[in-house]
Structure 1
Amino acid sequence: MTIDEFNALDGDGATALVLTAAAVPTWASAVVARRPYPDVAALLAAADSLAEHWAQPEVDAALADHPRIGERPHGSGAAADHSRREQAAVGTAPDTVRERVATGNRAYEERFGRIFLIRAAGRSPREILNELERRLTNDPATEVAEVADQLREITRLRLAGAFA
């Protein structure tokens, strides 16, 4: 898709596309409302700016659409396709790493009450495991901020990918 095609979409179509990057309806509506964009860089800058203050409600909304790290996404559609691509490396990890990630996922969910989220694209399974284990030591407020940062990174990559 080109930026001109995005700018020409009706509101529902543009919002649906933006929601594939992050399931945060208020953010997606705000991104769409700022159209037209002169180029993809301007769109990404606006999306980043609008996501800068994501907090617990936005994180919760977006996480509802994410699978656990190391698990295959269920369903179909753009969001599930993104997750499959982003987490592909974890499936190739040694059994010991996959087992530690699964154990860490359970500990994380017990501690923080939500799934562990990390920008998996570009990271090795070992890096993901190390980050999971490090973040288990975060206090809840620090972790919400880290999750929001990771979510913004994922969102930026996904949105940029829609225009590649």
Structure 2
Amino acid sequence: MTPTPTPPGLARLNALEETAALAALRAVCASTAWARRLLAARPYATPEDLYAAGDAATAGLSAGDLAEAMAGHPPIGRPAPGDPASAREQRGMAGASAALRAEMLELNLAYQEKFGHVFLICATGRTGEQMRDALEERIGNPPEREREIARTELGRINRIRLARLVEED
């Protein structure tokens, strides 16, 4: 059986010099500790090895590292200017009504005031209404529970971004 060729993006990540690889990984997740952990485990034989390392690194983030990772995400409904990843991921808000946008702004501010960080959700494939409903539901969580939900959502986002990195030509 012929081995599957390494996807071009994975081969490139494995071959990048350290500073460039760290920058590529920090574009996936803003946590320096997360990126350094993935950097230290190179080279990756398969995308699955990379995803498993990403999952383990996300699970191992300290509270401070998790806060650093979340700080790299713009609020839902306000993708970072010039950031195609956040615009693509938040596409579900693109056609949202003015009323839904205003509601999301109000809920986002209340969430940030309560928890001290941005509302983090894997927005890919979700509608604006689904994101609003999730925000309304999660704002009632205790801080410890919400931090673990945010960690899970961060892991989903990181996997999607790693897959995009691996598949890039």
- TM-score of the pair, normalised by structure 1: 0.91
Q: 1:124, CA displacement in angstroms?
A: 1.0
Between the aligned partners of 1:94 and 1:123, the Cα distance in structure 2 is 15
Residue number in structure 2 paired with 1:70? 77
Residue number in structure 1 paired with 2:127? 124
Is the 2:30–2:72 contact (alpha carbons within 8 Å) kept by the matching residues of 1?
Answer: yes
Instruction: Confirm or deny that 1:146 pairs with 2:149.
Output: yes
**For 2:163, which of 138, 160, 163 is the aligned residue?**
160
Give the 5 Å matches for 1:2-151.
2-74=9-81, 76=82, 80-151=83-154
Between the aligned partners of 1:113 and 1:14, the Cα distance in structure 2 is 30
Q: 1:55, CA displacement in angstroms?
A: 4.0
Between the aligned partners of 1:59 and 1:109, the Cα distance in structure 2 is 15
* Alpha-carbon spacing, 1:63–1:40, altered in 2? closer, same or farther (3 Å): same
In structure 1, the gaps of 5 or more residues are none
Q: Share of identical aligned residues, percent?
A: 32
Between the aligned partners of 1:15 and 1:46, the Cα distance in structure 2 is 15
Deviations 1:17-49 (A, max 9, x none): 111110111111110111111111111111111
Alpha-carbon RMSD across the aligned residues, in angstroms, is 1.4
Between the aligned partners of 1:45 and 1:162, the Cα distance in structure 2 is 15
Between the aligned partners of 1:138 and 1:3, the Cα distance in structure 2 is 38
Between the aligned partners of 1:2 and 1:162, the Cα distance in structure 2 is 6
Runs ≥4 residues deviating over 4 A: none
Is the 2:29–2:158 contact (alpha carbons within 8 Å) kept by the matching residues of 1?
Answer: yes
- TM-score of the pair, normalised by structure 2: 0.88
Count of residue pairs the alignment pairs up: 160
Which residue identity lines up with residue 63 of structure 1 in the other structure? M
